[in-house]
Amino acid sequence: MPDPLSITVAGAGIGGLTAALCLSDAGHAVTLVERRTGFSEVGAGLQLSPNASRVLASLGLAAALRRAGSEPPGVVVRSLKSGSRIGGVRLGEAARERYGAPYHVIHRADLQTLLLDAVRSRPGIRLLVGREVTGLAERADGIAITVESAGGGRGETLEADLVIGADGLRSRLRGHLDDRPVAPARMAAWRAIVPRDVVPEALRGGETGLWLGRGRHVVHYPIGNGERVNVVAIVPERQGDDGWGRLGEPAMLRAHFRDATPELAQLLGLPDSWLVWSLADRPTARPMARGRLALLGDAAHPMLPFLAQGAALAVEDAATLAACLAGGDVPKALAAYDAARRPRAKRVQKAARANGRVYHAGGFAALCRNLVMRRLGPDGMRDRYGWLYGWQPDGNGAHGRTRTDTPEGPGF
Ligand SMILES: Cc1cc2nc3c(=O)[nH]c(=O)nc-3n(C[C@H](O)[C@H](O)[C@H](O)COP(=O)(O)OP(=O)(O)OC[C@H]3O[C@@H](n4cnc5c(N)ncnc54)[C@H](O)[C@@H]3O)c2cc1C
């Protein structure tokens, strides 16, 4: 067993929290630095597919996930204009059987809370909040970051064997490895949560609803023990802005869905307020890790949300990084991490972009999509994701692998 390392993780989002847990459970001493002072997550839901839930289960979080989240029996795909059913994806018990781990939906705040509780229960993790990472200096035998408290004040230097940049889409640390900029995706995600009992009766089931139309789509699913429904509408946007939490005018959203089928229009008319997030894209960092600095999650490979994989890939990164470090030599371990994760992240990014095109198709392309979905049926659609959901950390450590590989199609 190699000596335990001293590791600093910058950013306590889903990726940073999971990395801290994986690394601490592997025996390393972890300092987790977060610039926010509180952990109140904005209201929104998250889908957590088996490739991620299996990692969280290995951290002892399966029961907490079951309590806080739910397992939709499937996805129902419909046309947003006509309301007719296009297809579906079978999940629930069938996803567990096929992939050996559940497909959860959960409120982001609930996931963040259960990860944070686990972090606080590990004596090997030191959590520093209200501190922003502002600089990095690497030497042959170590690495140091500078942190400043959120309200100004004196900076402090933290020495470590390894630094992990889990600092999100606009990562400061990414610039040390790859400075290709963030590009606006010219789309926005409008997100809201409504009580389930006011939702149109036909949409109150446990399934995830996916409504497709030219240039836009809507997803909804129950969260918070089924008492509320998370609604996300993706629409075109000319000019984006940075970050979360811009308030959206409900009438503007309704205007995008004037032609929607009455049930969907009713659902979209329910929220008094929407939070709007401009979507952005950026290539997978090249490299994702070098020397004593590694990136993970959105810092390394932001994902467009058309495959619901951003957080899931951050969780995969965290497990892989911990496995790679089992050998002890940091630069070698990070080279192995880069080799294991970069192709996977690029493949998922590509598939997410393709899914966006398929979801938003119109005319003849939409007809072809609908035909393929009908032909595949709910089990065929689920199995199409075998390469994605079947991922698990390699039993030997370093390289993640896919247990159930299936050819990659044009997306969905
Ligand atoms: C509409 C939408 C729906 C989505 N749905 C899903 C889904 O269903 N399933 C899924 O898997 N993914 C989904 N995602 C993607 C997912 O939300 C992100 O990929 C994921 O949260 C990224 O986690 P992260 O930890 O890498 O980054 P973040 O969550 O951005 O965390 C980064 C953290 O670093 C901190 N930080 C930043 N800079 C510094 C600094 N200099 N010093 C210290 N701290 C710093 C930040 O405050 C933050 O806490 C969705 C995204 C969108 C837009």
What does the block give as tokens for 385?
A: 């994701």
**CA–CA dist 386, 75 (Å, integer):** 16
| Residue 221: active-site member | yes
How far apart are the CA of 263 and the centre of ligand 1, in A?
A: 31
Phi, psi for 72 (deg, rounded to 5): -60, 140
**CA–CA dist 412, 409 (Å, integer):** 8
What does the block give as tokens for 16?
A: 């940073």
pLDDT recorded at residue 254: 95
What does the block give as tokens for 290?
A: 């070098």
Q: How confident is the model at residue 328 (pLDDT cuts 50, 70, 90)?
A: confident
CB count in 10 Å sphere of residue 255: 10
Closest residue by Cα to residue 306 from 206, 388, 386:
388
Concatenated DSSP letters for 33-51?
EES-S-----S-EEEE-HH
Residue 30 has pLDDT above 60, yes or no: yes
- Residue 137's beta-bridge partner residues? 144
Instruction: Tell me the residue type at 146.
Output: T
Average pLDDT, the chain: 92
3-state secondary structure at position 290: strand
Instruction: Please state which CATH class domain 6-39+106-181+283-402 belongs to.
Output: alpha beta
Residue 38 has pLDDT above 80, yes or no: no
**CA–CA dist 319, 325 (Å, integer):** 10
Selected residue with higher pLDDT from 403 and 8: 8
pLDDT digits (tens, 9 = 90+) for 342-369: 999 999 999 999 999 999 999 999 999 9
Q: Pick the catalytic residue: 103, 221, 359, 385?
A: 221
How far apart are the CA of 120 and the centre of ligand 1, in A?
A: 20
pLDDT recorded at residue 405: 44
CB 268 within 8 A of CB 254: yes
How far apart are the CA of 167 and the centre of ligand 1, in A?
A: 8
Q: Provide CB contacts within 8 A for 261, sequence distance 6+.
A: 78, 79, 80, 81, 82, 83
Q: How confident is the model at residue 56 (pLDDT cuts 50, 70, 90)?
A: very high
The reported pTM is: 0.94
pLDDT digits (tens, 9 = 90+) for 167-225: 999 999 999 999 999 999 999 999 999 999 999 999 999 999 999 999 999 999 999 88
Place of tokens 């290709």: 180
**CA–CA dist 251, 102 (Å, integer):** 37
pLDDT digits (tens, 9 = 90+) for 96-130: 999 999 999 999 999 999 999 999 999 999 999 99
pLDDT recorded at residue 151: 73
Question: What atom of ligand 1 comes closest to residue 311's alpha carbon?
Answer: 11
Residue nearest to atom 50 of ligand 1 (CA): 305
| Alpha helices (H) in 12-139, listed in sequence order | 14-25, 50-58, 62-68, 92-99, 108-121
pLDDT digits (tens, 9 = 90+) for 5-27: 999 999 999 999 999 999 999 99
Q: Who lines ligand 1 at CB under 6 A? A: 10-16, 33-36, 46-47, 132-133, 166-169, 172, 189, 232, 277, 297-299, 303, 305, 308-312, 314
Residue 43 has pLDDT above 70, yes or no: no
Whole-number Cα distances in Å, 365 to 67, 78, 84, 212, 237: 41, 16, 17, 13, 22
pLDDT recorded at residue 225: 81
Question: What atom of ligand 1 comes closest to residue 105's alpha carbon?
Answer: 8
Selected residue with higher pLDDT from 309 and 411: 309
Instruction: Give the total residue count for the chain.
Output: 412
pLDDT recorded at residue 32: 98
Write out the H or E segment, with its range, that includes residue 211: strand 208-213
